[in-house]
Amino acid sequence: RFLIKGGLAGAAVYVAYDQGLLGSGTEGAEALKKAKETLPPTIQEWTNYLGWEVRAAQLPSTPKFDFSVSDSWNKGVHRVMSALSVAPTRACEYTVESWKYVKDLVK
């Protein structure tokens, strides 16, 4: 059982790597575009093979994503770096405020 699960996990990682999902943001966007083009005909082919009657109107449309992985990644990196660059200044400000608060409590 363990070997089967390990083999399936390894195969999934290999397929993800082979399709470019583990690469850069542009490779991931290309893989998503390829999946959008391939998925509806594949679903139709399998439903015909299995004998299920599925009309095109019954299939939900593929979601439209106006989402750039690389832009989101870059925004996240910029925010983290901004927070890290401001952290020492903020720590000093909070320390001064906490000392004032403690002094007021002691009085």
Q: pLDDT per residue over 28-38, tens digit each?
A: 777 777 777 77
Residue 23 region by backbone torsions, left for phi larger than 0, else alpha for psi between -120 and 50, else beta: beta
pLDDT over 80 (residue 104):
yes
pLDDT at 100: 94
pTM of the entire structure?
Answer: 0.33
pLDDT over 90 (residue 3):
no
Q: What is the mean pLDDT of the chain?
A: 79
pLDDT over 80 (residue 106):
yes
Mean pLDDT of 57-69: 68
Q: Among positive and negative, which fits the CA dihedral 19, 22, 28, 32?
A: positive
Instruction: Give the HSE-up count for residue 71: Cα atoms under 13 Å, Cβ half-sphere.
Output: 4
pLDDT at 38: 74
